[in-house]
Chain A
Amino acid sequence: MNVAIIKRRAGRWALNGAAAVGLLYILTPLIFVTWLAFFYQEIPSFPPEGYSLRWFAAILDQPKFVNGFSLSFQVGVIATLIGLALAVPAALCITRFQFTFRAPLASLLLMPLIVPGVVLGTAMYVFHVTLENGLDVDVLGTFYALVAGHVVIVIPWIVRLVTASLSGVDRTTEEAAQNLGANAWVTFWRITLPAIRPGIVAGALFGFVTSFGNLEMSLFLVGPGRTTLPIVILQYLEWKIDPTIAAVSVVQILLICIAMLITDRYVRLARVV
């Protein structure tokens, strides 16, 4: 056989092998957490003494996981809805109009993505303290303050994905609709909105998941007796690692996996990520 072909084939295998190592590296922590969730014994020692499903039932015995999940879910849904109401019009404005300060304002809306979570958290914390002292109302540690903080980190995702989606929409269809007598609102509702739905779906998904998984900022915003799931997990892991926390993680992984597969049907994630 030709030496060049053999060499090229070997190179291909080496490349695929290196890629497989990379993928395996990314997935290793998830694989081991999932494995641990099915252990029979409580201590994470290898090899496992046997396998069991009892840890999944054990989750329900610990109300902090259930409560944490429910709070994270509520905050995520509400923050995403408010984020959509604020960010979709903003994205529309940024792509459709030319005005002074357009670029800086667009950067401002994306800025929460690049400010470190811990800095964001501390800044909001002192802000809430200042508000509380100034207005004489409870702010710090309230549900509303937590949601408001999450809206700030949801907005950039929606702005970003909807802007990308809008710039691909052909304006002539909108103009045709208006020439045929549709007003601005009807044009938006019947023409623009269906065209940018993939961007909105992707933005909402990324926004929700960002909110649901947020740890660093939320650490400063939660109040006594009111803790989000990532914080519950962090505090639990600080003391011990056992199959119960692994089972909690597996449930979370499964839910996110399902959400992503559903979203992928509407909008190819490969194109929006």
Chain B
Amino acid sequence: MSDTALGPAPSLPPPSDGGGARRAEGVGRSKALTATTLLAPATIFVAAGLLAPLAILFRYSLNEFVARTKTMVEALTIQNYITFFTDPYYTAALGTTIRVAVTVTVACLIVGFPLAYVVARTQSRFKHLLIIAIVLPLFVGNSVRAAGWMVVFGNKGFFNTTMMSLGLIDRPIEIMFTEKAVIIGIIAVNLPFMVLSLQSVIESIDRAVEEAAFSLGAPPLTMFRRVLWPLALPGVLAGTILTFILAMNAYATPFLLGGPLFKMMAPVIYNEFTQKTNWPFGAAIAFILMAVTLSLTLAANVLLHRRAAR
């Protein structure tokens, strides 16, 4: 996965230019024309559909909002950004988001590694079905998966009924509309991404190096720590980055499992935009979310690389 579909920046294969020797000038020009006709439509479409909207959104984030009339006034101020960082309501939402995202990422790594390893090493002819079982939930949609957890966590849900009939608890435990429910839900959403990132890297590690460690007398845990983990680090990095970004931006899961009082950044942005119609502030929060996510990802990247180098 890290080199095809979902990993971070893909590494481009060098272009295979056919000949190799420099062709005549005229051929070069017609080639340039071909290249432009091939690439231009998609590039223009994405630039117009993504870059232009982001630029306008950033411009909006510098505007002012008059609460009394609920209108936006053209301005050039960073007041929206200051408001965000001085209002405890919003900093708390940012704190919750980071806390949830970190917890989810660590949990995904712990739960996902054994599964990724087994999938990578299995010789079974049902391996492709195993992969489909991991990929399928990705496509089913976060709301549907949140619905599944609602069935489990409700007061008369599976978890509470089972625990009570076993006599382990006297009255239902409140799980729905808590941070616990949100964390459990997002772990399930992000786990496939982590597993697929790890699996593709583990698959490329030669089985013989593990055998060598074993035959030299290393117990499994030592083999894992000294051989498998260092070699799998690129996959670990790709998986944690992806999981972390997705958790930071989660919308449906906190919205449905956290309830109206639980605040994470993505639902807050949606709220500012549609409920309060405060576009400048909503735009500012959107850019803060992107900036925080990006800088934390970069920091983790540097940290892990330094660790790996040591």
How far, in angstroms, from A273 to B117 measured CA to CA in the complex? 16
Judge whether A152 and B46 touch: CB under 8 Å.
Answer: yes
Task: Quote the shortest CB–CB distance from B220 to chain A (angstroms).
Answer: 5
Task: Quote the shortest CB–CB distance from B270 to chain A (angstroms).
Answer: 6
What chain A residues lie within 8 Å of B158 (beta carbons)?
Answer: 32, 46
Please pick, from B42, B115, B148, B279, the residue contacting A29 in the complex, using a CB distance under 8 A.
B148
Task: Quote the shortest CB–CB distance from B301 to chain A (angstroms).
Answer: 14
Q: Given A116-B266, A118-B286, A256-B139 in contact, is the A46-B157 Cβ separation under 8 Å? A: yes
Q: Which residues in window 124-160 of B have CB below 8 A to A? A: 127-128, 130-137, 139-152, 154, 156-158
- Please classify how large the interface on chain B is, using the bins under 10, 10 to 19, 20 to 34, 35 or more: 35 or more
Q: Given A36-B151, A149-B49, A160-B10 in contact, is the A87-B42 Cβ separation under 8 Å? A: yes
- Report if B27 contacts A (CB, 8 A): no
What chain B residues lie within 8 Å of A252 (beta carbons)?
Answer: 140-141, 144
Please pick, from A93, A148, A164, A216, the residue contacting B3 in the complex, using a CB distance under 8 A.
A164
Q: Given A98-B17, A126-B60, A273-B196 in contact, is the A253-B5 Cβ separation under 8 Å? A: no
Judge whether A23 and B133 touch: CB under 8 Å.
Answer: yes
How far, in angstroms, from A56 to B9 measured CA to CA in the complex? 43
Interface bits A42-65 vs B (CB < 8 Å: 1, else 0): 011111000000000000000000
- Report if B118 contacts A (CB, 8 A): yes
Judge whether A44 and B156 touch: CB under 8 Å.
Answer: yes
Task: Quote the shortest CB–CB distance from A64 to chain B (angstroms).
Answer: 14
Judge whether B53 and A30 touch: CB under 8 Å.
Answer: no
- Report if B62 contacts A (CB, 8 A): no
- Report if B66 contacts A (CB, 8 A): no
What chain B residues lie within 8 Å of A256 (beta carbons)?
Answer: 136, 139-140
- Report if B16 contacts A (CB, 8 A): yes
How far, in angstroms, from A189 to B116 measured CA to CA in the complex? 38
Interface bits A20-35 vs B (CB < 8 Å: 1, else 0): 0111011111111101
- Report if A74 contacts B (CB, 8 A): no
Judge whether B143 and A126 touch: CB under 8 Å.
Answer: no
How far, in angstroms, from A43 to B290 measured CA to CA in the complex? 40
How far, in angstroms, from A163 to B52 measured CA to CA in the complex? 25
How far, in angstroms, from A105 to B274 measured CA to CA in the complex? 33
Judge whether B45 and A151 touch: CB under 8 Å.
Answer: yes
Task: Quote the shortest CB–CB distance from B146 to chain A (angstroms).
Answer: 7
B132 closest partner in A (C-beta): A260
Judge whether A25 and B45 touch: CB under 8 Å.
Answer: no
Judge whether A126 and B135 touch: CB under 8 Å.
Answer: no
How far, in angstroms, from A26 to B195 measured CA to CA in the complex? 10
- Report if A186 contacts B (CB, 8 A): no
Judge whether A161 and B16 touch: CB under 8 Å.
Answer: no
- Report if B111 contacts A (CB, 8 A): yes
A203 closest partner in B (C-beta): B5
Interface of B is mostly: helix
How far, in angstroms, from A200 to B55 measured CA to CA in the complex? 32
Judge whether A106 and B12 touch: CB under 8 Å.
Answer: yes
How far, in angstroms, from A38 to B215 measured CA to CA in the complex? 53
Judge whether A22 and B195 touch: CB under 8 Å.
Answer: yes
Task: Quote the shortest CB–CB distance from B113 to chain A (angstroms).
Answer: 8
Judge whether A264 and B128 touch: CB under 8 Å.
Answer: yes
- Report if A171 contacts B (CB, 8 A): yes
Judge whether B151 and A35 touch: CB under 8 Å.
Answer: yes
Please pick, from B53, B60, B256, the residue contacting A124 in the complex, using a CB distance under 8 A.
B53
A15 closest partner in B (C-beta): B114
- Report if A182 contacts B (CB, 8 A): no
B positions within 8 Å CB-CB of A: 1, 3-6, 8-10, 12-18, 31-32, 34-35, 37-39, 41-43, 45-47, 49-54, 56-57, 60, 111-112, 114-115, 117-119, 127-128, 130-137, 139-152, 154, 156-158, 161-162, 185, 187-188, 191-192, 195-196, 220, 245, 248-249, 251-252, 255-256, 266, 269-270, 273-274, 279, 282-283, 286-287, 289-290, 293
Q: A23-B115, A109-B42, A111-B46 are in contact. List 13 more A-B contacts (CB 8 A).
A: A27-B133, A85-B41, A93-B38, A97-B31, A110-B9, A116-B266, A119-B287, A122-B282, A123-B56, A159-B42, A209-B139, A233-B143, A246-B147
A positions within 8 Å CB-CB of B: 8, 11, 15-16, 18-19, 21-23, 25-33, 35-36, 43-47, 85-87, 89-90, 92-99, 102-103, 105-120, 122-127, 130, 148-149, 151-152, 155, 157, 159-161, 163-164, 167, 171, 174-175, 184, 206, 209, 213, 215-216, 219-220, 230, 233-234, 237-238, 241, 245-246, 249, 252-253, 256-257, 260-261, 264, 268-270, 272-273
